């Protein structure tokens, strides 16, 4: 099988190189905005051809000075991503593309061709990469680059510029996974509830001191924004506060990413068939809230931000599980979400009032009466649905031998009584 993977390294550009990267990043963003204006001019449903769009970009590069800092290849990639954003919207996977604002959007520059990059190892820890119009930039090679480099993307994060190498290699197809099957729910009480009760926890991403500091900074920035005169540029102090906030949020995001990778690897190692909820990510994550690393600054409700972070995290988790299970001979099955948290996994009935609290589920069907953890109940429903989908004729997964018979993990639980408090 062909494996494709991105590997990220931190770049250490000189101040001059950093300012060129900055210019390129803004040019790429500006080009996106120009393209968006041109595309949506005269109504959203105008669909210019790719050729027309390509021609418009070429013209713009001749006429607009600040666009020339962006290499032609990178400009082409902006067009590619822009048209893909519309395709995603038409297929119902995402919201329509919109303008990228200076503060909310993350700066991204693409280097689509790997042969231009010329990666050279300097020492055990350091290497260099050639970036078009920027020159030879050092990066910290904290690990080897796997496989062949086919391209790269430069991203600006809270702690500076990074390069993500797109790499590919061939490896033998894995033998079918022999592990058990499982259903996973995004729990309320636990981050990941597993149908076999093997829940996955994580600590808070920020230490108490850090969380306290973040809260203080956020209040500070809100206060300063309120007293700011309209139309005036942000003060130096306010900009500094923004940077400090971005730094702390970035730290939390990196710790979360680390946990995600470890957890998905463990899950893919253990289980042959993993059922997950198929969420409508587009409907859940409001792009106005920004990304996790660069959250929008006008986030009104903290709950909204948390929801956005969680759904973004869930999308990434499902994506990681997809390729990690495939590499190990396992399968991931996406199960439609409705009803999974309301239906009793033992008797299959949805009874009113069964969700006694966020964390507790008590089946009101007199013949059943299963009571227990609400997340566990949802995870078991997902497990059932996944096994059913996988064993259905024509699913391509049936007959793998790794599947448990339907209901394997759903032995009827003894009726439990609530302790009287
Ligand atoms: Zn029941």
Q: How does DSSP assign 115-143, residue by residue?
A: GGT--EE-SSSEEEEEETTTEEEEEE-SS
Same domain, 320 and 368: yes
CA of 383 to the centre of ligand 1 (A): 16
What pairs with residue 185 in β-bridges?
Answer: 193
- Residues spanned by the domain of 122: 2-170
Same domain, 189 and 107: no
Longest dimension (CA), the chain: 77
Same domain, 78 and 223: no
The number of helices, as runs of H, and strands, as runs of E, in the chain is 8, 13
pLDDT digits (tens, 9 = 90+) for 292-334: 444 444 444 445 555 555 666 777 888 899 999 999 999 999 8
- Specify the pTM: 0.71
Same domain, 256 and 370: yes
CA of 183 to the centre of ligand 1 (A): 18
**pLDDT recorded at residue 306:** 58
**pLDDT recorded at residue 87:** 86
CA of 371 to the centre of ligand 1 (A): 8
CA distance 326 to 2: 11
Using CA atoms of 174, 379, 336, 205 in order, give the dihedral in degrees to the nearest 10. -80
Decide which of 114, 143, 170 is a domain's last residue: 170
Residues with CB under 5 A from ligand 1 (ion): 344, 346-347, 363, 365, 368, 370
Same domain, 219 and 368: yes
**pLDDT recorded at residue 302:** 47
Residue with tokens 């809100």: 222
Tokens of 323: 């390729």
**pLDDT recorded at residue 310:** 66
CA distance 30 to 28: 5
CA of 200 to the centre of ligand 1 (A): 25
Does 175 reside within a domain?
no
| Domains held by the chain: number | 2
Does 414 reside within a domain?
no
CA of 193 to the centre of ligand 1 (A): 19
Same domain, 187 and 154: no
CA of 358 to the centre of ligand 1 (A): 17
Same domain, 159 and 198: no
Neighbours of 197 (CB within 10 A): 12
Does 398 reside within a domain?
no
pLDDT averages per 10-residue partition of the chain, 421 residues: 90 96 94 88 69 84 87 91 87 81 84 88 93 94 90 91 94 92 85 92 90 93 80 79 88 90 95 86 44 46 54 80 92 86 91 85 92 93 92 58 36 43 39
**pLDDT recorded at residue 297:** 45
CA of 406 to the centre of ligand 1 (A): 17
Same domain, 101 and 64: yes
Helix (H) or strand (E) holding 148: strand 148-157
CA of 272 to the centre of ligand 1 (A): 27
CA of 375 to the centre of ligand 1 (A): 15
Decide which of 128, 144, 170 is a domain's last residue: 170
CA of 194 to the centre of ligand 1 (A): 19
CA of 365 to the centre of ligand 1 (A): 6
Does 12 reside within a domain?
yes
CB 62 within 8 A of CB 23: no
Same domain, 164 and 190: no
pLDDT digits (tens, 9 = 90+) for 97-112: 889 887 777 899 999 8
Cα 49 from chain centroid (whole Å): 30
Same domain, 133 and 201: no
CA of 311 to the centre of ligand 1 (A): 29
Same domain, 136 and 249: no
**pLDDT recorded at residue 286:** 41
Residue 90: how many CA atoms within 13 Å on its side-chain side? 9
Does 230 reside within a domain?
yes
Same domain, 128 and 50: yes
Does 406 reside within a domain?
no
């Amino acid at each position: 099988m062909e494996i494709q993977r991105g590997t990220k390294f931190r770049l250490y550009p000189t101040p001059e190189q950093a300012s060129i990267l900055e210019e390129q990043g803004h040019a790429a963003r500006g080009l996106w905005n120009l393209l968006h204006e041109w595309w949506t001019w005269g109504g959203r449903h105008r669909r210019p051809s790719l050729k027309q769009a390509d021609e418009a970009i070429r013209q713009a590069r001749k006429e607009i000075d600040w666009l020339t800092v962006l290499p032609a290849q990178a400009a082409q990639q902006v067009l590619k991503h822009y048209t893909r954003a519309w395709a995603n919207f038409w297929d119902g996977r995402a919201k329509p593309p919109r303008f990228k604002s200076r503060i909310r959007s993350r700066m991204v520059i693409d280097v689509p061709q790997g042969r231009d990059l010329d990666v050279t190892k300097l020492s055990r820890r350091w290497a260099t990469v050639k970036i078009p119009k920027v020159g030879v930039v050092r990066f910290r090679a904290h690990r080897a680059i796997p496989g062949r480099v086919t391209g790269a993307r430069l991203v600006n994060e809270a702690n500076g510029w990074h390069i993500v190498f797109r790499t590919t290699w061939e490896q033998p197809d894995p033998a079918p996974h022999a592990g058990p099957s499982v259903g996973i729910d995004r729990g309320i009480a636990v981050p990941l509830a597993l149908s076999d009760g093997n829940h996955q926890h994580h600590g808070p991403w920020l230490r108490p001191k850090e969380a306290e500091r973040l809260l203080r900074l956020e209040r500070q920035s809100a206060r300063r924004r309120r007293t700011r005169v309209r139309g005036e540029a942000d003060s130096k102090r306010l900009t500094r506060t923004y940077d400090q906030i971005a730094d702390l949020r970035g730290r939390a995001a990196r710790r979360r990413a680390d946990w995600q990778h470890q957890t998905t690897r463990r899950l893919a190692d253990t289980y042959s068939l993993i059922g997950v909820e198929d969420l409508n990510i587009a409907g859940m994550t409001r792009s106005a809230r920004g990304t996790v690393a660069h959250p929008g600054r006008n986030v009104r409700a903290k709950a909204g931000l948390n929801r956005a972070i969680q759904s973004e995290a869930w999308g990434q988790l499902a994506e990681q599980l997809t390729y990690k299970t495939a590499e190990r001979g396992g399968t991931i099955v996406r199960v439609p979400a409705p009803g999974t948290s309301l239906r009793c996994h033992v008797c299959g009935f949805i009874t009113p009032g069964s969700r006694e609290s966020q964390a507790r589920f008590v089946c009101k069907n007199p013949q059943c009466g299963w009571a227990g953890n609400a997340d566990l109940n949802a995870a078991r429903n997902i497990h059932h649905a996944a096994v059913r989908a996988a064993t259905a004729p024509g699913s391509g997964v049936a007959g793998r031998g790794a599947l448990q018979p339907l209901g394997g993990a759903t032995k009827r639980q003894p009726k439990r009584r609530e302790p009287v408090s």
